[in-house]
Structure 1
Amino acid sequence: MPNPTSDPPATRPGGPVTLQQVAERAGVSSATASRALHGSSGTRIVGEELRRRVLDAARELRYVSNAPAQALARSTTTVVGVVVHDVADPYFAAIAAGAMGVAREHGLLVMLAATFRDPELELDYLARLRAQRARAVVLAGSGFADHEFTRRLAAEVDAYRADGGHVVAVGAHGIASDTVRPANRPGAALAVRHLYDLGHRNFGIVSGPRALTTVRDRLDGARRQLRSLGVALPAAQVIDGGFTREQARVAARTLVTRAPELTAIVVLNDVMAAGVLAALRDDLGLRVPERISVVGFDDLPFAADLNPPLTTIRLPLADIGARAMDMILTGPTIEPRTLDLDTELVVRSSTTTAPR
């Protein structure tokens, strides 16, 4: 009689994988493995440490519950997953809108998932979309600068591709996949050069979480440009604004307190730039741009409506999503493709010549 806790085998290169094999790899019983993977309506709860062991074993073995690889390979599903960090963030909303526009034209259904910058959720969503036999997944959130996470993500992507799925990444994720790459380093360098050409020599940077590759790329682009121009950037003048308006407002107050002589602030996204402008104008009583010039990044729709209108680096956000979906429509290739998208400086009223 078959074990009622067992699932139909999933296929990977080299043969079928069963729930029992996952349990053996994790060193638990089949029942425990089943509860860890599927949850339980009973009273027995699997502890977090056991659950993690089972999930890691399932990923290593490329096990997918209730989704044989043969079915995935034959599937004609029209579902495409788009995984972002935060659906409320206008940056991700614009990318998702671009992807959805192309998907609609071709009869595809987009399933949107938000990770809230939790790398474990990103892995979980990718596994779930694979189990649901989604045709493809767009990883639209920033990559994480963590070697162990990148290894696990690469293994999950390899398993998805081996089962017939297609993964497209936006930005650097450290995985072998088709990639749409925004010009984060060149854009940050462009922001610095604009301010330098206006005579600014004392800079501050409001950054984001350093664990994100997008932040590291933008920060690296700004630092390299400053070094090439012979401008010093003390470590104390780079402050994490958390990629939120509120945290950036606090960061700007701290930055000016630490370096009251600075005349230019580069902010690594427009949401944070809104908080920086509010802090300078309302909290510190400093005039922008007469006393301090501010440059943002992304050119979100509200940037032109800020007080003053924000000079920023424009990324073609909707086009990023559209190009990622185009890659899905053309299908995977033997060698992963990379599409680089340019950026441009949009000059508005938040920057001017450095005060004398």
Structure 2
Amino acid sequence: MAQVTLSDVARTAGVSLATTSRVLNGSSRVPGKAISQRVMQAAEKLGYVPNASAQALARSSSGLLGVVIQDLEDPYFSAVAAGFQEAAGGQGQLVLMAQTSRDADLTIVALGGLNAQRVDGVLMVGSLDLSAEQRAVFSDQLARVEARGGQVVTVGQSYGIGRTVYPADRDGGRAIGQAAIAGGYQRFALLDDVTRAPSAVDRAAGFAAAIEESGGRIEYHVPAPVTAAGGRVAGDALVRHLEEHPGGPMCFFAMTDAVAVAAMGRALHAGIRVPDELGVVGFDGIAAGRDIAPSLTTFDLPLRDIGRRAFELVHHPEDADLPETWEVHEDTITIPGRLWQGGSTSPPPT
């Protein structure tokens, strides 16, 4: 017989994992009496056995904060992490950081390690295509942080615990598609993220919608992971496609700046003229995109500021100072971006 988990009790009681953990693990942040009774009744009905170690840890504090990111080499993640670290350092807080290489199992190990260190708050950056079982484990680990009185902030994906910060992925994808059309492109290519990360799915959907609304279509879906290595694979594939299917300039939406920079490098090395034969668009607004030639057209996000504000939400959520342009709805925060016109795509006519 499978062991009864916190997730099972939460589902039966009809409350969140965080609430269930606070009731059963003895946190000082206990909900109302009626809810507590409902949780206790559900636990008794299912035969849930509380973990004595978890109960002891529920009331402890370490003074440490945890950050979990997917790829340190990707400037998107490192910029957000740097903003968080800078803000934490200014408050004398020590940060434990884990890179998980976009691997769900490694992320679970990282969260378990942070809980073993009794971190007082966690920032998770990035989205993953998870099974229901993996999502339940993620949520269970994050609920343990909240049960100790800590705060959880996730960027790009919600696990039902804490607050979630969403970049405007779908709107940004749509803005990129509209800009490509305005720039005169009639042929379009799109990175098809083989890992199916939710943020990439949303960006692709926005881009495709803009193209379809204009009467166009995506000519070429390039299968590759959303990594710099995937960008090199995509760049080589685009070169082959253009050689085999001539017929006018094509605009490629690379899904992230890291992918775009790598793909554009491979295309330029092969003699493809950017933006005349191939336009390349990223998403994120990393600093390196401004420094290359041609500079990268992208959907610009305030990456370091996301990290700094995430620290405020983790460290002192009641006094967090969020920009007025950030849309707050209950535990969800949506961050707008803006299209930045670089030299990697043809600009719209003036």
Q: TM-score, normalised on structure 1?
A: 0.75
- Distance of 1:127 and 1:331 partners within structure 2: 24
Residues 180 and 323 of structure 1 are in contact (CA less than 8 Å); yes or no, is this contact kept in structure 2? no
Report the AA paired with residue 254 of structure 1: A
- Distance of 1:109 and 1:220 partners within structure 2: 39
What is the DSSP-based 3-state SS (H/G/I as helix, E as strand, rest coil) of the residue aligned with 2:307?
Answer: helix
What is the DSSP-based 3-state SS (H/G/I as helix, E as strand, rest coil) of the residue aligned with 1:111?
Answer: strand
Q: C-alpha root-mean-square deviation of aligned residues, in Å?
A: 2.6
Q: 1:302 aligns with which of 288, 294, 304?
A: 288
Structure of higher CA gyration radius:
1
1:97 deviation in Å?
0.7
In structure 2, the partner of 1:340 is: 334
Report the AA paired with residue 129 of structure 2: F
In structure 2, the partner of 1:98 is: 83
- Distance of 2:257 and 2:25 partners within structure 1: 49
Residues 150 and 314 of structure 2 are in contact (CA less than 8 Å); yes or no, is this contact kept in structure 1? no
The reply on whether 1:254 has 2:248 as its aligned counterpart is no
Report the AA paired with residue 294 of structure 1: V
- Distance of 1:183 and 1:114 partners within structure 2: 24
Distance of aligned partners of 1:329 and 1:353 in 2 relative to their CA distance in 1, 3 Å threshold: closer
Q: 1:239 aligns with which of 219, 222, 225?
A: 222
1:162 deviation in Å?
2.6
Report the AA paired with residue 155 of structure 1: D
Between stretches 152-161 and 319-328, larger displacement belongs to 152-161
- Distance of 1:221 and 1:61 partners within structure 2: 46
Residues 180 and 339 of structure 1 are in contact (CA less than 8 Å); yes or no, is this contact kept in structure 2? yes
Report the AA paired with residue 168 of structure 1: V
Residues 115 and 121 of structure 1 are in contact (CA less than 8 Å); yes or no, is this contact kept in structure 2? yes
Report the AA paired with residue 134 of structure 2: F
Report the AA paired with residue 274 of structure 1: V
Distance of aligned partners of 1:176 and 1:189 in 2 relative to their CA distance in 1, 3 Å threshold: same
Report the AA paired with residue 265 of structure 1: F
Residues 126 and 157 of structure 2 are in contact (CA less than 8 Å); yes or no, is this contact kept in structure 1? no
- Distance of 1:142 and 1:282 partners within structure 2: 32
In structure 2, the partner of 1:266 is: 253
The reply on whether 1:325 has 2:325 as its aligned counterpart is no
Distance of aligned partners of 1:242 and 1:303 in 2 relative to their CA distance in 1, 3 Å threshold: same
The reply on whether 1:212 has 2:197 as its aligned counterpart is yes
Q: 1:312 aligns with which of 292, 298, 301?
A: 298
Can you list the C-alpha shifts for 1:282-331, whole angstroms capped at 9, x where unaligned? Answer: 12x22111222111111211111222111111111111111111111224
- Distance of 1:219 and 1:98 partners within structure 2: 27
- Distance of 1:202 and 1:169 partners within structure 2: 36
1:204 deviation in Å?
0.3
Q: TM-score, normalised on structure 2?
A: 0.76
- Distance of 2:124 and 2:318 partners within structure 1: 15
1:194 deviation in Å?
0.6
In structure 2, the partner of 1:224 is: 209
- Distance of 2:85 and 2:330 partners within structure 1: 23
- Distance of 1:122 and 1:249 partners within structure 2: 26
Identity %: 29
Give the number of equivalent residue pairs: 294
What is the DSSP-based 3-state SS (H/G/I as helix, E as strand, rest coil) of the residue aligned with 1:86?
Answer: coil
Unaligned runs of 5+ in 2: 1-20, 27-47, 320-328
In structure 2, the partner of 1:182 is: 167
1:332 deviation in Å?
8.0
